[in-house]
Amino acid sequence: MVAFPGEALALAREAAPASENLLTWWKAAILGVVEGLTEYLPISSTGHLLIASRILGLPDAEGSAGLEAVNTYAIAIQFGAILAVVGLFWRRFVEMLQGLVGRNPEGRHLLISLVIAFIPAAVLGVAFDDKIEDALFGPWPIIAAWIVGGALILVLERTGRIPDRGVPAAEVGHNRLAAITYQQALIIGLAQCAALWPGTSRSLATILGALLVGVALPAAVEFSFLLGFATLSAATGYKLAKDGGTLVDQFGVATPLIGAGFAFVSAVLAIKWLVGYLERHDLSIFAWYRFAVAGLAIALITTSVI
């Protein structure tokens, strides 16, 4: 999920009675689990949060009570997913810190690569946030993105543009993470811009972008995680600085922390599973999953369940 300012405006349901609109601790926990499980998988956390929020009866009507706080909460729980990356890849962060002070050339190279990859989507997200929000935030654009992303995975695999099987980390060789060039990093960053279309999935865009420029799958996945840390940190910090007071006034401190905690645990599990799975398999399972969840969303909408 690329949570640029305003992205969470599509993450709730038509206003229901006040008692149902309240973000209780268990609703916060559910959304935290959804965020953590889907943030780093190539299936779009934004789309899943939209469906889950509507099922939970959270508000989305403009001007409805609690809407801004719910929007902010949808961004704030990313903090748990951010901490998951720090906890699992702390050695990379140590290397980058060492590189920052001139003690680790590979760490410095990785840090610069991540900065280069971060800039394009950050600039476009800030510049076109309102236009993107007006044009693309809603269930149908997200469903379309799910379908397009799934089709893209299958086309690229069947045409040999990306690997049709997993590659064990031990076989990365010259394509190790630190060997990603600045040019490759820029292209991966440009690919991340596609995730400004909600439902595309930031992870999908960055992993595919890396694979298409010759980065081996394990390195592509890890670079996507680290780039996600930078992108989510910036988006979460911006949103909390802007609307954190509204969040605390509406829901206090404990409820958002519960959501972030559940997001952390579920993100750790999802990342570990993804790394192990992609050492033995290709990405096709995520294409079929995207088709399935798009079909489910269509069914829920057409039957007025959400």
Tell me the pTM: 0.87
What is the rounded CA–CA span in Å between residue 81 and residue 264?
5
Per-residue model confidence (pLDDT) at position 60 = 65
Predicted confidence at residue 7, as pLDDT, reads: 44
Whether residue 118 is predicted with pLDDT greater than 50 in this model: the reply is: yes
What are the domain boundaries of the chain? 7-302
Tens of pLDDT, residues 160-178: 988 766 655 555 444 488 8
Q: Per-residue confidence at 246, pLDDT binned at 50, 70, 90?
A: confident
Beta carbons within 8 Å of 302's beta carbon, 6+ residues apart: none
Least confident of 24-33, 131-140, 188-197, 215-224: 131-140
CA atoms within 13 A on the CB side of 268: 12
Distances (CA, A) of 187 to 118, 148, 212: 11, 20, 9
Residue 41 confidence (pLDDT) above 50: yes
Q: Tell me: the pLDDT tens digits for 185-235?
A: 999 999 999 999 999 999 999 999 999 999 988 899 999 999 999 999 998
Helix (H) or strand (E) holding 296: helix 284-302
